[in-house]
Copies of this chain bind each other. A is one copy, B any other.
Amino acid sequence: MSEQQSEHSNPASILLIDDHPLLRKGVKQLIELDSELQVIAEASNAHEGVAAALEHEPDLILLDLNMPEINGIETLKMLREEGVASRVIVFTVSDNEEDVVAALKAGADGYLLKDMEPEELLSNLNQAALGKMVISEKLTALLAQALQSKRTKKGPDISSLTPRERQIIKLIAAGLPNKLIARKLSITEGTVKVHVKHLLKKLHLRSRVEVAVWAVQEGLN
Contact = CB atoms under 8 A, between A and B. Distances in A.
B144 A147 contact: no
A210 interface: yes
A198 interface: no
A123 to B, nearest CB: 14
A74 to B, nearest CB: 15
Interface stretch (A11-19, A28-36, A38-46, A211-219): A211-219
Interface residues of A, number: 39
Contacts of A210: 175
Interface of A: 101, 104-105, 107-108, 111, 132-137, 139-141, 143-148, 150-151, 172-175, 177, 205-210, 212-213, 216-217, 219
Given A104-B148, A146-B147, A216 B219 contact: no
B175 A213 contact: yes
B141 A175 contact: no
A207 B177 contact: yes
B145 A141 contact: no
A38 to B, nearest CB: 25
Given A107-B148, A148-B104, A213-B212, A133 B143 contact: no
A92 B175 CA distance: 35
10 contacts: A104-B144, A105-B219, A108-B148, A133-B145, A134-B141, A135-B144, A139-B140, A143-B147, A146-B147, A173-B213
